[in-house]
Amino acid sequence: MKASFAVVMAAGMFVAGIGVGVAASKKNSPSLYHGKSKAEAAQALIDAARVQAGKGSWERIAIGRIQYLGGQKSQGQAVFDSILGGKHEASDEIRIARVYREAGEWARAKPMFDAYVARNPKDKTEIAEIGAWYLLAGDRDSAERLFDKSFAIEDEVWATVAAAGAYLGVTPQP
């Protein structure tokens, strides 16, 4: 029930923003944000970005991210649900898991990360990044198993940087 309400709300907000979005599809006008409250400016720019994003999943996830982390959690979740509810790439899942992790919701991120590793056993860079998230969450044993798995595939700079950074408390750069 909650998810369907969020989808209806997101659709309503989209329809309400079509006029702004149509104007924004050519060029973002300063009228989208000048002289408006932060909330009004953000919404106008979100509406414009939604039009610019089209059907691109990475772009829509970026919009959902700012909504989810910026106090519009249900609208952001509706974006994620719409992507995950249809045909999508594994990379979409890891991007959404990163948002949950960034929001401090490790319990939501972890199963998505685990599923990614299971479906992409040769993705050395992402496996090391996920290992870094485990280490930062305090699970060194699981982290090091993921680092071992990543480095057994191939030593690669981005995987190594993700692992090294986690030992120093630095979050991976996706």
At residue 21 the predicted structure's pLDDT band, cuts being 50, 70 and 90, is very low
pLDDT at 2 over 70: no
Structure tokens at 27: 């060029």
CA distances 102 to 44, 107, 143, 171, Å, are 24, 12, 18, 10
Instruction: State the pTM of this model.
Output: 0.79
Residues 99-152: pLDDT tens digits?
999 999 999 999 999 999 999 999 999 999 999 999 999 999 999 999 999 999
Query: If 0-12 CB within 10 Å is exposed, 13-18 middle and 19+ buried, where does residue 109 land?
Result: buried
pLDDT computed for residue 13 by the predictor = 52
Q: What is the pLDDT of residue 29?
A: 84
> For residue 156, which amino acid is it?
E
| pLDDT category of residue 26 using cuts at 50, 70 and 90 | low
Mean pLDDT of the chain: 87
Angle at CA 153, nearest 5°, toward 149 and 158?
85
Distance (Å, rounded) from C-alpha 37 to C-alpha 16? 18
